[in-house]
Every structure is written in structure tokens, then in C-alpha cells.
Amino acid sequence: MVKRYLKVKSLADVMTLLKTSFTCIPSVEYVKLEDSVGRITATPIIARYSVPEIHLAAMDGISVKTESTSCASEQNPITLKDAIRINTGNVVPRDYDAVIMIEDVWAEGDSFTIRKAAAPWQHIRPAGEDIGELEMVLPSRHKIRPHELGALAAYGITEVEVLTINVGLIPTGSELVNQGSRPKPGQVVESNTVMATAILTSVGAKCTRYPMVRDDPSLIRKAISKAIIENEIVIVSAGSSAGTKDFTADAILNLGEVLVHGIAIKPGKPAIIGRITGKPVIGMPGYPLSALTVLREIISPLLELYGLTFPNPETVNARLTSTIHKDIGTDEFVLCATGKVGDHWVISPLSRGAGVQMSAVRANAYLKVPNQLEGFETGENVESTLMVSRDEAEQALLITGSHDPVLDHLANMLRRTGIDLHSTHAGSMGGILALKKDECHAAPMHLLAKDGSYNTQYLKKYLPGENLILVCVAGRQQGIVSRNGISFKEIRNYTFVNRQKGSGTRMLLDFELKKAGMNPSIICGYDREVTTHLAVALAVKSGEADAGICVYSAAKSLGLQFVPISQERYELVIRKAHMDDPRVKALIDTVASQEFKEILSSLGGYDTTETGVQHELP
Amino acid sequence: MVKRYLKVKSLADVMTLLKTSFTCIPSVEYVKLEDSVGRITATPIIARYSVPEIHLAAMDGISVKTESTSCASEQNPITLKDAIRINTGNVVPRDYDAVIMIEDVWAEGDSFTIRKAAAPWQHIRPAGEDIGELEMVLPSRHKIRPHELGALAAYGITEVEVLTINVGLIPTGSELVNQGSRPKPGQVVESNTVMATAILTSVGAKCTRYPMVRDDPSLIRKAISKAIIENEIVIVSAGSSAGTKDFTADAILNLGEVLVHGIAIKPGKPAIIGRITGKPVIGMPGYPLSALTVLREIISPLLELYGLTFPNPETVNARLTSTIHKDIGTDEFVLCATGKVGDHWVISPLSRGAGVQMSAVRANAYLKVPNQLEGFETGENVESTLMVSRDEAEQALLITGSHDPVLDHLANMLRRTGIDLHSTHAGSMGGILALKKDECHAAPMHLLAKDGSYNTQYLKKYLPGENLILVCVAGRQQGIVSRNGISFKEIRNYTFVNRQKGSGTRMLLDFELKKAGMNPSIICGYDREVTTHLAVALAVKSGEADAGICVYSAAKSLGLQFVPISQERYELVIRKAHMDDPRVKALIDTVASQEFKEILSSLGGYDTTETGVQHELP
């Protein structure tokens, strides 16, 4: 029988529970000044001495007593008897109270003539000008900024007492292998505690990653009892669900209390909050994006209760490009790509699979869909939390449409100019839709019309009258990929892997099938869909399918056979209104660059004759 | 004779010169994945294998071939012959193409009955769902975020090739002492290369701090020739001016070229840009804030040419609280405190002395006053660059007025709630002015009227009809501080140190002098002004003056004698309109707290009877 979560708690209730269930007293440690950047002061930092400790000359010149200069004027030059030559930074002699710049002095040996009276304290850096002994330099709970190290060093501070907290991380799961080992089928690299360590260390926590523990209740219990002694917080990675191999909750219950098992968030529902000897023990779910959500929504706020504060992310209001459905009663967090198209922000949800870590890599924002809602509608303006600075988000270049491996190369080249290419693989028709709704900067496509032309017929039909610029990326070869040289005519005899509906490549296949009088239903695997050329080639390489349809470069990169079907025109379509956008300009320049053509040539299967060529519609 | 800069170059010209004078090829290094957060990728990161490499069950259940389930329905349950029990994460057996959740299965031993057909690929994580072998995980020139370490670890990445640049830092100056040594009069702790290292390391530079070199041309030359071999960039700290002990320019000229000596920026004018064996050598001025400006305006942009990018700071438009005058032809950078009062941002310049490092500690923003302007006027709206996040700047609580040592304690207590107290020591009258212009959240003051009352008479006069709340901080004792118990009556016989005009403490002194029939002109040092109580006490402790006027706590903290003059009412005055501001609420709560009263008592000289008591005007 499958165990159920006894009682799923809302995120809001969990926040209250964290505050009331733990005392949250941080540890402190002394770190060398050089290592203190970004750390949070545990106590106020007090200057050990005044800077300067004594009056200093602020200029090269002579030190004087102002009363002996008072009668000097252009008409009445005075030769001083008691003036003393002094350089910037030298100590002003006792009873002297001003410095006259050397430029204003006529010097002959030790005799100095002046033509202007000195004002008291002129050109002197008085004792304590910068800071006085015992003055507070920084309060406690201050996050030290890099440039502050100059002042702290100058004031005699060589080490700083900062907040920390010891966090023990226990990876559990018999399927885990250590970093650096190549996982066998069904194994996974233990990565969640690596991620957790990186996130928690960034605010000053000291993380200890304990050895991996296999799915054995007594071993897990043993690991927790050791870690709870050595740390203020323990995080048990995985095993927090309610399946037959999920032992975390029982282990915590055995050693203390389970306060929460199941939180109404998605991803991340199977999280556990326990308490052992007064200390929090968190069960962090095993799916990477569940773990990430629990780290951000549960564990980070817990650390903040100890004074280890995370920077508050920025938010933007953005127009949602596709509907998000969810169940009422759960706060759902959706990773997204956001960017500014023209003068409006748009935001596109990424894959919501809890195992798809690439969503976290690709995301520059996320949405929280609150528990009382069933979702958000396409076109709705939603508050979006940025995972980068606003400035970086403004550098996002949104590309929506047909996928090609060269998009990665464009992304790579554009990064040099600070631009972040976000590519959504929506297929050529998806690109047309995004263009229509003005939700991307450029839409790559390769849509073959009956007259043999590419793209223009579709654009005229779906975007009539719009001013568009088409930029040719390349002519590219599509064909049948296989391990042993299967041709298009033979595919009916083999298992096949297809592309998603709306992709130009699938439309090409359908076009060719129709031309050849072949019924799709006879192709075994026609309904098996993947979304990139490389994914097609990988399915063939792994033996899942015998054949598929993709571009030459994808077949070549995996060392597979390729039998061409046709050459097509792969173009970027851009609204003319965006042609002056610096990101779009950089994109077009990159496509037209010699370096890019050379990359296309080295990949193979691309005809670069027309690369970079523009034409305009209508 | 004093040397002059040959030709001062504008900042804009220097930026062009940097781009055209150096090739700027960064170094690369491999770092362990765990150490890669915040580093910038030198090459694209490519997945070593697909994740998952093979189809996995996404649920606990049974793996099935969909064709054998197709006839199942509620009316027609089917008992499967070839189904296999499978758990989440297990490999789906070859030729099986779906998983049915265990909840939907009636199991008896190895016999499984279902009442619903399975859809192809349901509850399966297909091979490559997360990422495909050879797919690009991250482009080059990407700054690695903490949470991305999870994905990278999962994809088999154990080390990352990142950009770096070797920067050699040479501190020069005979007045320097090492960190940890207490400087003798006229000595300073070498802190500029500590600050530079912290700033440059934050973007991935590898900084080497060479031993300090005294002011000796041949030693400086020798240090540079060694550093230029071992690094891509060399920074020579101090000695870059045109004084008799400034040898940096000559040393660079001796080994290569001086491209620029003197940049039209303030602070930072005496900067040098040289080139030795094609590499940049920067002469960084010795005054700490000059060094900071050169680091931010010259050296950081230089590092960006090597691909080591700094985060772009945020900006706000803020109302300037005091006029800034400057010379035409120089870009001047002014450190400031900014905050949001009501719905407008205000910004106040801090001390512009290039030696006042505390300005950099206190600042949360800076202004650039462009070279073609003579300055900015009070009340002008100016673009202000934040030195913290916008969110942190919004937590700034601006206090302008009379100084008291307890403000540091309030700052310290308020930091726990995330609030940043910025205190401007403008004196009580300065506080009234700031209140009038609505440029602070609260104004501390202690203004004695002829009727013996505090503050209200002045507020009625200068802010007639305004709704104000007065919150009593404490009754506090003012008196004469000295090394040997000088009383008020005796001060005419000694040297004195006074407070600045407009401060309530100076007004108290004047009041008492008048009452006693003493003429200020007979007080030696009446015109010597400092701006805090502690500065008065320090001047007395150091022997600069024999006596001064300050609060008891300042005298006590330095172990000095104190002869009381009077007890006064030190109050915070707040516009009623700001009483609902969370920062103001936190301030008032803190003043009224038991903890604060205990601090007052331990400092001594404060009467806490009325602490926290509010009254309202009019």
C-alpha cells in the first residue's frame, strides 16, 4: 500500500512554523579580513585608533602658525622665521596650525616668504578626519562590500567576526554515484547537495557534505544522528517522499519529531521539516528542481532567521506567452525565460518536469502561481521574479521557433557582447505565432510552400501586411539519420523517431510522405516526438529508434549515417520595428560574420551562399 | 620646482585609449566545479552524456507495452502477462513504452490487472529529457550561478575552464606599514592593494600583492620589471602624482611608455596608464578614495576588455540635498547617502576628502558630475548610481541633525531588521532644515529656548503649522571634557575645541557663555570645529586641546574627566506623514525598547525616564 502524506501544510503555515519552532541562533567565526567579502558582521566593527592619529599635511609646502602669517598680503610680503618645510602626509609639528602650499611660497634656503595670510587648519588633515578611535565603522549584520576592505585594513582590522551556520548535508539513495563517476543506466550523479552547498555557502553557511547513504533505514538514522551533533541544521537529500524506499521521515521521527511532511508547493511537495534536539532537520526532495524549490522557498528563509540574508531578487511585470494550469491549493513555481521585446516584458514558461535541470540553467526568472488560483492565462500580466539582475534580463534576446544546433553557436558568440540568447524550441509554426503576438525578437523557421519557396508564403498568410525582415541563416540539408544508412524510402521498415507537431522538420516529413504516397500510420514511431535535431539523432544512436529526420550536423556530431532528403532555407524572421534594437543588431551582425560562416562550414550540411542575406516583407 | 602633469586626458579619451592600446587576451584556468560560482566560462560547457541516458520510470508502478493495454476499460479489465514492476528512477525495460502508476493497478503477486489503456510514453522520463549528449549546457562568457552547479554536476562536469587575469599589485611609499602593524604618527597601513584585490578578485582576477617598496626609483623599477613578467596587468599603488617623491611615471617610462599621466577625474587625477612589453601598467593614486575611483572608472573597464565583467549598478533619480561645486573640465565622482523619503529619493553628498575612507563605507550611492558642468544645485534631480541593490537602498533610514554616540547603537540594533541607518551630522539646525525640505526620515535635535524648553519653540518658529511627532531619545548630560577636570568657568585659561556652527551643543556653549558674561573671543580654540562628540573628546585626549564640550558618554568612553553643565532633552523629530513608514516605525520601536534603555544606562550620562515618550506638534 502506498503511504500518503498525513497532512500537507501550506507554504504560509510552514513559514510561521519555522519562526516559532526553532530558536535560530547563528554561529560566529573569525575570518581573515581578505576572506570577509560578502560575509555578515556578527558584531559592530570599531576603529582601533583614529585615522589619522595626528594632524598631517594635506599638501606639499610649509607648516606655519597662522598668527604669524596674519599680516601678509601682496603689498606686505612676510618672511617667516618659524615656518618648517613639510610634505603631504608628514606630521604637522606641535603648535603649528596650517600648511601653505609650496606654490604660494618664495623659498630661499630655510627662509620662506608669503604674500597671503593662512587660515587656521588650512591644508591640514586633522587627527580623526577619517575616523575617530572607538567610532563604529560598521554595524553588526552588515554584508561586507569589497571596497570596504580598504577602510577596514587602514583602521587596523585584520580579522572580522562574522555570522555563519553549520549545515550538514546527507545525500541518500542507492542510485547515487559520486561526482566524477559516469553513472550507469538508472544511476544518477549526486548533485543536489553540490547545488545546496553552492547556494548556502554564498551567504556564509559552512556546509559539510556527508558520504552518500544507500536506502537503508538504519544507515540513514545513523547518518542523521551524527550530523545533528555536528551542525545547527541538517538537510537530508531525497527519500522524503512517501514511497517504499523513502526512509527519511521515519528516521527523523525515530530521533525526534516530524513537524511537517508534505508542503503544498510544486515542485517540492514531499519536503519534510523535522526537529531533533531542538535543531531543524529538512527532508529535501530528490528531484533536482524540487530540491531547488525547497532550497529557495524553505531552507533560504530558514537561514535568514539565523541572520544569513539572501539578496532580494528583482521583479518585473511581464506578459505570459502561454497558459499555465495547476491545481488549486498548491503554490506552484514555474521556471521561465523572460526578456523585453520592444517596450514590454514577456515571459515564457520552461519545461516543468522536476527532473529537467536544464530549465534552471536556461531560466532567468520564475513565476509563483499562488495556491488559490487554477493558473495564469496566456497574455496575462504576471509578476515575475528575476534570477539575474534586471540589467542582465534586459540583455535577453528571445528567439522562438524552429530549432537548429547552430543556435547554440550563435548564443555562444553573442555572449561576448553581453547578450543572452534564450531559445524556445516551438517549431516554425510556433515562431510564426510568437512573431504575431510580438513575443520574440526573432523567429527561426523553414516552412516549405507548395511552390517550393520557403517561409514567405506562410508569413504572408499568417502575418498579412506586417513589416518583416527575413535574414537567411543558411541553406541546410535535412535527411534521414540512422546507424546504418537507411534512406527515406525504407523508413516504413524501421522504427522511427519524429519531431513535434508544428515543427518545420515534421512538416517536411509529411510533405515528403505525401509526395511519395506513404501514409504516416504505416511509420512505426511516427507519434514518438522529440523537440530537437540532436534529440532525434540521440534516439537513433541509443537504439531506441532505427531512423529519424534531422539536419546533417546533428547526425555528423554523433557519428551517424545520413541520407539527404532536401536542402531548405533556414531563416530568422524579425519584425522591422525591432531592427534598431541593439540585441537584434548584434544577432544580425553575428549571423553575417565570417566567423559564423566558418562555423557553419565546419559543422557540415550548411550552404552559406546566402548566409546573412536579408529581404523584406511585404 | 613642482612638476606638472604634461597633459591631462579626459575620461572619455582614456576609455578609447584603453581599447586601442592593448590586445586584452584573458588567461584561462581550470577550477573545480565547487569553486566555479561567479566565475566566467572560457569555453562552452557541453554535456558529456545524456541525462537520463536511457528511459526511466517517472512513477512507481508497472512498465507495460501500450499495445497490450489498448483494450482495457472499466467494463473490460485486462490482466497483463508481460507487465513488470518498476519504481521511480528504474530503467524501463527494452520494448516497453509506458508506465502505469501503482495506484491504478490491481496486483496479485506477479499478475497485474488494469482498467484503463496506457498512452505511449506516459510516466516515462525519456532518454535525454533533461539534456542530450553533446548539447551545450552553458555558452562561454557566462557567469556561473550557484544553482547551476546542480545541473553541471549531474551532467558529469567536475571542473570548469574559466576566464582569469593575473594582476600584480605593487604598493609603494616609505610611509607604509603592513596590515596588523599599528602605524606610528605619519605612517599608514597599506590598504589600497587590499581593497583592489577584493574588488578585482570578485570578478575572477588572480591578484598578487608584491612586498611594499619604499620611495626609491630603482627599487620601484625593479619591482615593476618583475611583476610585468609574471602578470598581464600591473598596478602600482601610489607615487603616481607629480611630487618630489613620485617615481612611478619615471619607472614606467624607463621600462616602456607612459601613455597617460593625469586623467581629468576627481578624485583620481594623478593616475598613470603605461605600457610595458604590450601590457598595461596602471599608476593608481595613493589617496584611498582616489584609488577607489581609479579602480572603478579605469581599472574595472580595463578588466572588462578581458571579459571579466562587473555587475552593472542600478541607478535612481534623486533630489540633491546640497549644492556641489566643481571645476569645469573634470568628471567628478561624489560619494553619497541616498534613500527614499515618502515617494521621492533624496541624495546627500558625503565628505569629499580623498583621504576619508569612511565616506566609501557610509556611501550607498555616488554621483558623477560631468566635466562640462560647474556642479549640481541643491534640489536638482540627479541620476545617482547605487552601490547597493535598489532593494537595499530602499531600506535606508535617513537621519539628519544633531549627533550623539547612541545613533551608532540605534544603527546597530536596526540592522537586525534589515534597515540601514544613514546619519548625517548636520547639527540640530541642519536637522530642522532637512525636516523643512522633507529630506530625512527623522531629525535628532536638542535646541534650548529662552524659556528653558527644548526643541518645540524652534520647530514652531521654523516649521509653523507642520504636523510633527517628537520622540524623546533621552535626557542627556552635556559638560566640559578634559584630561584633568577643567570646569566651565575655567575654560578661558585653556585651549578649547568647539563643535560646528548650527550644532545644538555649540548653541548650548554660547548660551552658557552669554549667561556667564564671557566673550567667545577670549576662548582660545573657540573657532576650532569638529562635528561629533567623540571628535571633541579625542582632540582633548590627544592633547590638541585641553578642554571641549560634549556628552558624558563620549568623555567616559575615552576615560576622560567630565564636569557637567546641564541636562538637555535629545529628541527625534519626525513628520507625521512618515509615521507609517516601516523604517520609521522600526526606529521608534527601537528607541522605546528595553534593550535600548539598558544601553543608554550602561553608557552613562543619559536619563531614560522619558525615553520613547512621544508628543505631537502643533
Contacts of A159 (CB under 8 A, 6+ apart): A30, A31, A32, A33, A36
* CA dihedral angle for residue A94, residue A98, residue A104, residue A110, rounded to 10 degrees: -10
pLDDT digits (tens, 9 = 90+) for A459-517: 999 999 999 999 999 999 999 999 999 999 999 999 999 999 888 899 999 999 999 99
What angle, 0 to 180 degrees and rounded to 10, lies between the N-to-C axes of helices B594-603 and B406-415? 150
Query: Lowest-confidence range among A230-244, A369-383, A466-480, B128-142?
Result: A230-244
The pLDDT of residue B466 is 96
10 Å CB burial of residue A10 (0-12, 13-18, 19+) is middle
Q: Cβ distance A573 to A468 under 8 Å?
A: yes
B180/A contact by beta carbon, under 8 A: yes
Minimum CA–CA partner of B147 in chain A: A195
Residue A374: exposure state from Cβ atoms within 10 A (0-12, 13-18, ≥19):
exposed
| C-alpha closest to that of A100 among A67, A126, A73, A62 | A62
Question: Is pLDDT above 50 for B395?
Answer: yes
Banded model confidence at residue A419, pLDDT cuts 50, 70, 90: very high
Question: In DSSP terms, which residues pair with A40 in a beta bridge?
Answer: A143
> How many angstroms separate the Cα of A560 from the Cα of each of A123, A452, A551, B166, B287?
79, 29, 12, 43, 65
Tell whether A186 is within 8 A of chain B (Cβ).
yes
Residue A541 predicted with pLDDT over 70? yes
By the CB < 8 Å criterion, does A139 face chain B?
yes
Contact A310, A300 (CB under 8 A): yes
Q: Do B391 and A312 touch (CB under 8 A)?
A: yes
What global pTM score does this model have? 0.94
CATH of A464-617, one of 3.40.50.1820, 3.30.420.40, 3.40.190.290, 3.90.1150.10: 3.40.190.290
- Pair A107, A77: CB distance under 8 Å: no
From the list B230, B235, B278, B237, the residue with the least C-alpha distance to B256 is B278
Of the candidates A463, A421, A416, which has an alpha carbon nearest to the alpha carbon of residue A573?
A463
Interface touch B542/A90, C-beta < 8 Å: no
Say which residue the cell 512554523 belongs to: A17
Q: Which of A319, A574, A571, A583 is CA-nearest to residue A466? A: A574
Written as nine digits, the cell of A288 is 533536482
Rounded Cα gap, residues B577 and B467, in angstroms: 8
Chain A and chain B share a number of CB contacts under 8 A equal to 330
Pick B202's closest partner by Cβ from A146, A199, A534. A146
For residues A592 and A585, give the distance between their C-alpha atoms in angstroms, rounded to a whole number. Answer: 11
- In this predicted structure, the answer to whether residue A5 has a pLDDT above a threshold of 70 is no
Shortest Cα distance from B137 to chain A (angstroms)?
7
C-alpha cell recorded at residue A67: 598668527
Task: Give me the residues paired with residue B379 across strands.
Answer: none
A93-97, A272-276, A313-317, B23-27: segment of lowest average pLDDT: A93-97
To the question of domain A315-394 being in CATH 3.40.50.300, the answer is no
Shortest distance, CA A460 to any CA of chain B (angstroms): 34
Looking only at the bridges linking them, the beta strands covering B365-369 and B420-425 are: unpaired
| Distance separating the N- and C-terminal Cα atoms of chain B | 64
- The answer to whether the CB atoms of A153 and B179 lie below 8 A apart is yes
Residue B3 has pLDDT above 50, yes or no: no
Non-local (6+) Cβ contacts of A257 within 8 A are A274, A275, A276
Cβ distance of A102 and B2 shorter than 8 Å: yes
Chain A partners within 8 Å of B145 (Cβ): 387-388
Tell me which DSSP letter residue A259 carries.
E
Average pLDDT, stretch A350-360?
Answer: 90
Chain A partners within 8 Å of B121 (Cβ): 528
Render pLDDT for A254-274 as a digit per residue (tens, 0 to 9): 999 999 999 999 999 999 999
DSSP conformational letter for A587: H
From A2, A127, A130, residue closest to B102, measured CB to CB: A2
Chain A contacts in chain B segment 42-101 (CB below 8 A):
44, 48-56, 58, 60, 87-91
Q: Among the residues of A529-617, which ranges form H helices? A: 533-541, 552-557, 582-592, 594-603
**Nearest CA of chain B to the CA of A517: how many Å?**
26
Q: Is A310 near chain B, with CB under 8 Å?
A: no
> Which residue blocks in A38-147 are alpha helix, DSSP H?
66-69
| Residue A127 reports pLDDT greater than 90 | no
Give the residue from B54, B104, B147 with the most A CB atoms within 10 Å of its CB, the best one to mutate: B147
The ipTM estimated for the assembled molecules is 0.94
pLDDT at B416 over 80: yes
Which of residues 142 through 171 in chain B touch A, CB cutoff 8 A?
142, 145-156, 158
The minimal CB distance from A130 to the residues B90, B182, B358 is found for B358
Q: Does A538 touch chain B (CB under 8 A)?
A: yes
Q: Give how far A411 is from chain B: nearest CA, Å.
A: 7
Q: Does B557 touch chain A (CB under 8 A)?
A: yes
CB–CB of A153 and B188 under 8 A? no
The continuous run of DSSP H or E covering B197 comes out as helix B192-201
Which of helix, strand or coil describes residue A22?
A: coil
Question: Nearest Cα to A28, choosing from A222, A197, A232?
Answer: A232
CA distance B360 to B315: 17
Does the pLDDT at position A2 exceed 80? no
Domains A11-26+165-305 and A315-394 share a fold: no
Closest CA to B150 of A236, A237, A534: A237
Q: Do A243 and B88 touch (CB under 8 A)?
A: yes
Look at A54 and B188 and tell me if their CB atoms are within 8 Å: no
The helix (H) or strand (E) run that includes residue A505 is: helix A504-515
Q: Is-contact B368 B402, C-beta < 8 A?
A: no
Grade residue B117 by pLDDT with cuts at 50, 70 and 90.
very high
> A 274-303 residues with CB below 8 A of B?
288, 291-292, 295
Give me the residue label for grid cell 569612511.
B358
Q: How many CA atoms lie less than 13 Å away from B133 in the CB half-sphere?
A: 18
User: Which grid coordinates are listed for B116?
Assistant: 484503463
Which residues make Cβ contacts (< 8 Å) with residue B551, sequence separation at least 6? B404, B405, B476, B477, B478, B479, B533, B605
Write the CB contacts of B164 (distance below 8 Å, at least 6 apart in sequence): B26, B27, B28, B29, B204, B205, B206, B308
Q: What's the pLDDT at A81?
A: 86
What is the distance between the alpha carbons of residues B164 and B201, in angstroms, rounded to a whole number? 9
Q: Which residues contact B532 (CB under 8 A, 6 or more apart)?
A: A132, A135, B403, B405, B425, B554
Among A52-66, A277-291, A410-424, B471-485, where is mean pLDDT lowest?
A52-66
Which site among B1, B65, B84, B358 would you substitute to test the A interface, given the most A Cβ atoms closer than 10 Å to its Cβ? B358
Which has more confidence, A53 or B272? B272
CB atoms within 10 A of CB A576: 12
Which residues of chain A lie closer than 8 angstroms to B534, CB-CB?
132, 134-135
What local confidence, expressed as pLDDT, does residue A453 receive? Answer: 93
Residues of A in contact with B414 (CB under 8 A): 139
> Rounded to whole angstroms, how far apart are CA atoms A437 and A341?
11
Which architecture does CATH list for B27-51+130-164?
Alpha-Beta Complex (3.90)
On whether the CB atoms of residues A55 and A167 are closer than 8 A, the answer is no
Write phi, then psi, for B497 (nearest 5 degrees).
-125, 130
Residues in chain B with CB shorter than 8 Å from the CB of A197 are 34, 149
Pick the CATH number of B11-26+165-305 from 3.30.70.60, 3.40.980.10, 3.40.50.10190, 3.40.50.300: 3.40.980.10
Q: Report the pLDDT value the prediction gives residue B5, as an integer from 0 to 100.
A: 57
Cβ separation B147–A199 shorter than 8 A: yes
- Among A37, A151, A182, select the one facing B361 at the smallest CB separation: A151
Listed in sequence order, the residues at least 6 apart from A303 whose beta carbon sits closer than 8 Å to its beta carbon are: A165, A200, A203, A205, A233, A310
Domain boundaries, chain B: 11-26+165-305, 27-51+130-164, 56-125, 315-394, 464-617
Tens of pLDDT along B536-546?
A: 999 999 888 99
- Among the partner-chain residues A135, A185, A189, the one whose CB lies closest to the CB of B54 is A185
Cell representation of residue B134:
553533446
What contacts A288, CB < 8 A, 6 or more positions away? A191, A192, A195, A354, A355, A357, A360, B150, B151, B154
Average pLDDT over residues B447-452: 91
Nearest-angstrom CA–CA distance, A523 and A509: 11
- The C-alpha atoms of residue A256 and residue A258 are separated, in whole angstroms, by 7
Closest residue in A to B35 (Cα–Cα): A198
The CA distance from B392 to the nearest CA of chain A, in Å, is 8
Instruction: Please report the DSSP string for A54-76 in residue order.
Output: S-EESSSEEEE-HHHHTT--SSS
Does residue B126 register a pLDDT over 90? Answer: no
CB A337 within 8 Å of CB A347: yes
Residue A413 has pLDDT above 90, yes or no: yes
Q: What is the pLDDT of residue B2?
A: 37
Are the Cβ atoms of B50 and A542 closer than 8 angstroms? yes
B199 and chain A in contact, CB less than 8 A: yes
Q: Going along B242-314, which residue ranges are E strands?
A: 257-261, 265-266, 272-276, 279-284
B151 closest CB neighbour out of A136, A361, A389: A361
Fold (topology level) of A56-125: Molybdopterin biosynthesis moeA protein; domain 3 (2.170.190)
d(CA B566, CA A31): 45
Do A538 and B125 lie within an 8 Å CB cutoff? Answer: no
Binned at pLDDT 50, 70 and 90, residue B1 comes out as: very low
Nearby residues of B37 by Cβ (< 8 Å), 6 or more positions away: A198, A201, A202, B144, B145, B146, B149
Chain A touched by B315 (CB under 8 Å):
no
CA B228, CA B226: separation in Å to the nearest integer? 6
Of the candidates B383, B338, B384, B340, the one whose C-alpha atom is nearest the C-alpha of residue B364 is B338
